[in-house]
Amino acid sequence: MPPQKQQLEALIACAAKAPAAEAIRLDPFQLIAFEHALQERLCDLLEAIADALPNQVLLDAADAAATTLRTYFPAHLKLENDILFPALTAPCRADRSVREAIALARSEHDADEASALELAEALANRDEEGRYREAEALGYLLRSFFEQQRRHIAWEETVVFPMARSCFSAASKADLAAALLRHRMRCECLPLVSLLAPQKKPCNGNCADCEEKPASAIA
């Protein structure tokens, strides 16, 4: 099986292993760890696509990667920016290292979101025969994106979140779990549903379905 197919299957298999509500209540960071595992599988897929340039890229792999970059990826950044970081800010207010790490993560997110959209455009930009005319530029974009993401995830997992956990009380942990569950309920129309069930329309977390989902629907 071509490496791109293997990595696409690994991404879809990973997406099916989302933690249950009970696991998130026990440890809210499990949801973030799950999303990071998905990002790592996305990086592996992007690397396999880069290795297949210029002429061996599988169109379904490129399309799935572009969809993931346009939908799931910004949704993860939004989850961290809008829910996780504000939840960490209050209990960790006294910890200057956590505050600085969060500020740095936010600024990296801004640049990463723009890069993800640029990369998604480049992956979709094929000629009539499905080939990439700017293969060298696409290879550069792919490699810089997955290298930056692997570094960012490793930094969050090994530096930022362990620091944040250390100043987290049981009450703030419960608040974070509740906020994450509300977010997940609102956005179940999104993350990788577009890959798992292609008939569902992908959204960016702000679609009509998200708006209509009542907060009372939380598990």
Supply 47's token pair: 């690397």
Q: How far is the CB of 109 from Fe ion (least distance, A)?
A: 6
For Fe ion, the closer CB: 47 or 80: 80
- DSSP E strand boundaries for the chain: none
Q: With contacts defined by CB under 5 A, how many residues of the chain interact with Fe ion?
A: 2
The rounded distance, in Å, linking the Cα atoms of 90 and 92 is 5
Q: Which of 117, 158, 123, 152 is nearest to 138 (CA)?
A: 123
Residue in 74, 142, 140 with CA at minimum distance from that of residue 109: 74
SS3 of 210, please? helix
Q: Which two tokens stand for residue 107?
A: 């600024």
CB-wise, 44 or 80, nearer to Fe ion?
A: 80
| Residue span binding Fe ion (CB under 5 A) among the ranges 43-51, 93-101, 124-132, 149-157 | 149-157
Nearer to Fe ion (CB atom), residue 6 or residue 115: 115
Q: Which is nearer to Fe ion, 134 or 147 (CB)?
A: 147
CB of 103 to Fe ion, least distance (A): 12
Stretch that binds Fe ion, among 17-25, 58-66, 74-82, 92-100 (CB under 5 A): 74-82
Evaluate whether 58 touches 52 at the Cβ level (below 8 Å). yes
Q: Which of the ranges 72-80, 115-123, 125-133, 173-181 carries the binding residues for Fe ion, by CB under 5 A?
A: 72-80
The phi and psi torsions of 82 (rounded to 5 degrees) equal -95, -25
CB of 125 to Fe ion, least distance (A): 27
What residue ranges bind Fe ion (CB under 5 A)? Answer: 80, 156
